[in-house]
Amino acid sequence: RAVREQLTTDQGAGAGAGAGNTGPITVWIRGGLYELDESFSLGPEDSGNDDYSRVTYSGYLDEEARLIGGRLLMSSSATTPADDIRARLSNTADLRYQSASARENVVVFDLTDSGISDYGELQQIGHGQPVEPAPLEVFVNNEPLRLARYPNEGSIPIGSIIDAGSVPRIRDYSNRGGTFEYTDDRHAAWEGVDNIWLQGTFMWGYADDMIPVESIDSATRQVKLAAPHMYGIGTGEPYRQYVALNILEELDSPGEYFLDRSSGLLYMWPPVSLDDAEVAVSTMRDPLVRLDEASFVTIRDLTIEYGRGMGVYIEGGESNEILGLTVRNLGNIGILMGKGARKTIPGITHDDYEGIPESGVIGSLLTHRYHNTAWNRNAGKNHAIVSCDVYNTGSGGIFIGGGDRRTLEPGGSLAENNRLWNNQRHNKFLWAGISVSGVGNRVAHNEIFGSDFQAIMVSGNEHVFEFNHVHHIGMDSDDTSPWYTGRDPSGRGHIVRYNYFHDIGRKDRMGMGVYMDDGTSGTQVYGNVFDKVASYGTVYSNAGSDNIIFNNIFLNGFGPALHIKSMWFTWAVGNIPGYWNAGGIFPTRLQEAVDITAPPYSELYPELTDFMDLMEDGQTYRGMIPSRNVFAQNLIVNYDEVVRLDHDTIEVEVADNWSTSSDPGFVDAANGNYALTDTAEVYNRIPGFERIPWESIGIYADEFRTRQ
């Protein structure tokens, strides 16, 4: 049978409890390439139950079964570009910028010969924009190619601002693109070229965007954008930068491509010889695999790739398992639990607006949740994603959920022993390797790396983050971090323990390690090892209370180990009405979305009940004052600054820490082994310092992987 027919027939056979089965069922998927054009969907009728065990869909033994949402192109169908195209590749305005070998190495595929005519359209993506399926993308030997771009490495600084454009963040919805002077002479060669896009951070170093160009004027050296950026555009900071995309003339290095949508001709410079290479394009917009109200289903030992949207979508149900999958080369997220939201108004918007919850999409999930912080996305409960490799995704890696913020019922879902990298090829800010929402979920033993923005994004309550290995994060952004939560003081109870964070951020950018923003409170950070983490605070709190940081190891810092700001008495005084007054962010989130003065919040978090109370001066709310914080029993090695406080209102107990420039007793610091010997000096200097289980951090060997 054809592979899609086979999957559909197996699925329709009703393997689950609804068909009257009384024992565990395994549906074996033999090795091969399964080209999907619609989701492989499982529902209640396909479920197992806890009385008779599970229904399992599995790759067969050592055979590789691949579900793909794209089409393979015959390498033999590649031809030489027409003479006029070859001339554009090597004979444009200034030969200094051209690659002489582009003419000899670029090949062309006619997608119409493969029956492909839906290419999608490039669209504005980034901060404040919904996450939609990507347009057609190209892959060679399971790696994504990139749109022809300039420069091939690095970015272009934004020059003088002629017009910042409209600023949707302050509700200027006139939809006016900005105008600026370019700083690189190469722009002159693009004058009159259609459909050029710029991708970068145009005002703040955390807010990415991809914006179409309206025009380039070489006489005035000006670029006019066809749409605004959320914050307008600015200059004068190293993170105000961009690259130019989708320019045929810049197809000048291996691994780049350009698609002529009018003709269906796909031009590429293959990164390897096409002899025996696998060349694929993505075509499918829907999730490749869907579980809608299915329960006790296991999906394991499969490769899922080449879709324009997401890999696996789970809504509702309980106790589903995603085990040992390779999820890669997708236009959106790898695996999503719970609903997204459909945008209801055009253009870039301010964060506060109502969307419409919708199944099987991402859309404006983050923006809708920002306005509805207790939104139950129906992510189900007790699901597990274990030992998966998730990489080369467009908008995040894994997004787990579950639990109810109004009742504080836990979700019990798990992301464990996964390896995630290169998860922000398209949407960057806030689309982390792993995101967590809801209540009572766990993220453990994962390795997350290779992102210029976040690794772990957190919302909700009572989540546990432990034994994760997080590294090389935030290397080309500003005001970002490997672990972030913020702007909802009712989101408490998180535990960050026994993780290894290293090589985070850089000295010339504002970066944080564990980032507790805008009043985040009630977080415990203990037993972690931090090495070369962040310039602005290895642990950073913006006006939080009840944050307890103890028994950590801080190594080789290039900023303070702890940094606490009292924002309501310093830089954020002007923001007080929007946060604290009636209808503001905090009354909405702490008194309407949930009620911090009534059970279950008042019982679990009694210290939070007076957060919105006015003090005797009639102007200061109790929650404005950072209170009851602790920084104790920490080992600090090679830090010039241990604690930085920016206002005398900050309450923090700093006690029993040891700061040293000598080896405190590591097993082998020179080779990155930060386990402590039994006789380590730190045990003398910090009585009660507890051994950190260094050997247990990170990926572990199981039936799906060996430790690397």
Question: Which overall architecture, per CATH, does domain 3-67+284-480 show?
Answer: 3 Solenoid (2.160)
Q: What is residue 128's predicted lDDT score, i.e. its pLDDT?
A: 85
Q: What is residue 52's predicted lDDT score, i.e. its pLDDT?
A: 73
CB-hemisphere CA count at 13 Å for 663?
Answer: 14
Cis peptide before 254 (omega within 30 of 0): no
Structure tokens at 199: 């991708």
pLDDT at 22 over 80: no
pLDDT at 398 over 60: yes
pLDDT at 596 over 60: yes
For residue range 80-107, list pLDDT tens digits in order: 999 999 988 864 444 444 556 888 899 9
What backbone torsions phi and psi does residue 254 show, to the nearest 5 degrees? Answer: -60, 140
pLDDT at 8 over 60: no
Average pLDDT over residues 537-549: 99
Share of the chain above pLDDT 70, in %: 94
Average pLDDT over residues 627-651: 99
pLDDT at 11 over 60: no
pLDDT at 13 over 70: no
DSSP 417: S
For residue range 446-478, list pLDDT tens digits in order: 999 999 999 999 999 999 999 999 999 999 999
Q: CA-to-CA distance for 598 and 166, rounded, in angstroms? A: 42
Whole-model pTM above 0.85?
Answer: yes
For residue range 668-683, list pLDDT tens digits in order: 999 999 999 999 999 9
pLDDT at 337 over 80: yes
Q: CA-to-CA distance for 159 and 222, rounded, in angstroms? A: 9
Q: What is residue 352's predicted lDDT score, i.e. its pLDDT?
A: 59
User: In terms of pLDDT, which residue wins out, 12 or 392?
Assistant: 392
Average pLDDT over residues 373-378: 98
Average pLDDT over residues 168-173: 89
In which band, very low, low, confident or very high, does the pLDDT at 17 lie, cut at 50, 70 and 90?
low
Question: Which residues does 616 contact at the CB level (< 8 Å), separation at least 6?
Answer: none
For residue range 276-285, list pLDDT tens digits in order: 999 999 999 9
Q: What is residue 629's predicted lDDT score, i.e. its pLDDT?
A: 99
Q: 242 - beta bridge partners?
A: 156, 200
Q: What is residue 2's predicted lDDT score, i.e. its pLDDT?
A: 42
How high does pLDDT run on average in the chain?
Answer: 94
Q: What is residue 100's predicted lDDT score, i.e. its pLDDT?
A: 62
